[in-house]
Amino acid sequence: MKLDSGMLMNEDITVQLKRFITGEMYGLDMKLVIQKTLFESDLNTTQNRLNMPIKQLLTRPHEFLTAEEIHVVNESKEGIEVRVVGPAMQMYKRPLRLKMWHMKRNDNYVLKTNWNNFVADNKVLEKHKKIQVWSFRKHRQLCFAIVPVERPDAANKFCYSC
């Protein structure tokens, strides 16, 4: 799968992720929401959020959010609770919250609340690491999966048990 960044998603990771979500988790409707590089601001513990600029989304909001979810995410102070699968192919124990931040020049979706804990528990999420964020539904609840992107010329295979 070639994306605009010139990076390739390791097909093994894609297959494993889809198998886990659709097979073991009985998840439905997987969509690639964004591929992005983790910046210092995404990992800064004082900010406690993953920023996903709307202009960089690979899937339109109405394709992975219901009309009601769009309204709540855009208008409510808290946003909506979501569950997240991490790089180790496990549902993270703590929920995160999806919220819209309206900025002067850009609107951004953010995954917040427990983001710092998620990063601390998933050490492969480092500055300058490319990740993909996928959406899916489990029992109609919105969930996300966050996985690193591996360059095809990387010497080491990605380790899901790390």
pLDDT digits (tens, 9 = 90+) for 127-160: 999 999 999 999 999 999 999 987 443 434 444 4
Q: What is the 3-state secondary structure (H, E, C) of 57-100?
A: CCCCHHHHCCHHHHHHHHHCCCCEEEEEECCCCCECCCCEEEEE
Residue 153 lies in a domain: no
158 located within any domain: no
Query: pTM of this prediction?
Result: 0.84
So what's the pLDDT on residue 10?
60
Q: Domain of 144?
A: 11-148
Does 124 map to a domain?
yes
Pairwise CA distance, residues 59 & 23, whole Å: 23
Residue 114, domain member (yes or no): yes
Q: Are 109 and 52 in contact (CB under 8 A)?
A: yes
pLDDT digit string, tens, across residues 77-130: 899 999 999 998 999 999 999 999 988 888 999 999 999 999 999 999 999 999
**What is the count of structural domains for the chain?**
1
Q: Is residue 162 part of a domain?
A: no
**pLDDT for residue 155:** 39
Q: Looking at the domain assignment, is residue 85 inside a domain? A: yes
Task: Judge whether 155 lies within some domain.
Answer: no
Tens-place pLDDT, residues 2-61: 344 444 456 677 788 899 999 988 999 999 999 999 999 999 999 999 999 999 999 999
Identify whether 81 is part of a domain: yes
Q: What is the CATH number of the domain that holds 140?
A: 2.40.330.10
Report the residue count for the chain: 162
Quick check: 127 and 43 in contact, CB under 8 A? yes
